[in-house]
Amino acid sequence: MKADAPILEVSDMHTHYGASHILHGIDFSVARGECLSLMGRNGMGKTTTIRSIFGLTPPSKGEVRVFGNVVTASAPHVIARQGLGLVPEGREIFANLSVEENLLMTARAGRDGSNNWTLERVLETFPRLAERLSNMGNHLSGGEQQMLAIGRALMTNPDLLVLDEATEGLAPLIRKEIWSVVRRIKETGIATILVDKDVDALLSVSDKCLILVKGTAVFSGSSTELAANPDIHVQHLGV
């Protein structure tokens, strides 16, 4: 591990699903504590980018480095143990485990041995989960499932938290709550990659943005730069 290496560096990443070429050479990096927004319309390769980073759909070409170590060919659990926490699209809660078990199953100290996120702290962050500890994963509302998915990833004490469509399909009030938690997580110094439809919320919380169109980055720059040029996101993200 190199002392000053960014948490995540992705260079010239190409990914195929069978014969179809989805990602055409993506480059970006996330430094410690930094928040990156991954933007783009549906089907442009955001989730594939995340799956490729985690080794779930390994890239066919290019390199993924975590703290300077190449993890491109590693198994998903090895990559996750480098300090990456995943809150996947669709939440993917373990339906046949209780809320408490969902949280405890993955609990472990962080890469540096730190144990900042314990069951108590996660329940403090999401008081609604504390009331539903013994409920099974499939007996939760969408918002509660989302909180559980975030809590579950935090229990691995990650250095980088990846949230894929964390507010999708949720009521406005719950969405607001999720965004405020995302801000609080960011304030604790955990780096984040965010995928969401709410461009304004993304611009207000993230440091930099990457816009994907058909598996290629068409914009890569700071959030302030993107906010100052609304025509860019209107062109690539507007409906």
Partner 1 sequence: MDFVTFLIQVLNGVQYGFTLFLVASGLTLIFGIMGIINLAHGAFYMIGAYICFWLFGITDSLLVAIMAGIPIMFVFGYAIERLAISVLYKRDHLYQVLMTYGLILILNEMQKILWGSDFYSVPIPEVLSGSIPMGNQEYPVYRLFVSLVCMVVAAGMYVVIGKTKLGMMIRAGASNREMVQALGINISRVFAVVFSLGAALAGFSGMIDAPLSSVYPGMGNYILIISFVVIVIGGIGSVKGAFVGAMLVGLADTFGKVLVPEFSSMVIYALMALVLLWRPQGLFGRVT
Both tokens of 81, joined, read 């143990």
* Nearest-approach distance from CB 156 to partner 1, in angstroms: 6
Task: Tell me how crowded residue 89 is: count the other CB atoms within 10 A of its CB.
Answer: 17
Number of continuous H segments (helices) and E segments (strands) in the chain: 10, 10
- Which alpha helices (DSSP H) does the chain contain, by range? 46-53, 76-80, 99-105, 119-125, 127-131, 142-154, 172-187, 199-205, 223-228, 230-237
Give the interface with partner 1 as residue ranges (CB under 8 A): 54, 56, 75-77, 80-81, 85-86, 88, 92, 94-97, 101-102, 104-106, 108, 152-153, 156
CB atoms within 10 A of CB 6: 18
Residue 173 CB, nearest approach to partner 1 (Å): 27
Q: How far is CA 125 from CA 91, 128, 130, in A?
A: 18, 9, 10
Consecutive H or E run containing 163: strand 160-164
CB of 54 to partner 1, least distance (A): 5
**Closest to partner 1 by CB, 96 or 229:** 96
The sheet with strand 69-70 has its strands ordered as 20-30, 8-17, 61-66, 69-70
Q: Quote the CA–CA distance of 187 and 205 in Å, as a whole number.
A: 10
Shortest Å distance, C-beta 236 to partner 1: 28
CB of 18 or CB of 172, closer to partner 1:
18
Nearest distance, CB of residue 122 and partner 1, angstroms: 14
Query: Measured from the CB atom, is 86 or 129 closer to partner 1?
Result: 86
Nearer of residues 48 and 102 to partner 1, judged by Cβ: 102
Choice between 80 and 178, CB closer to partner 1: 80
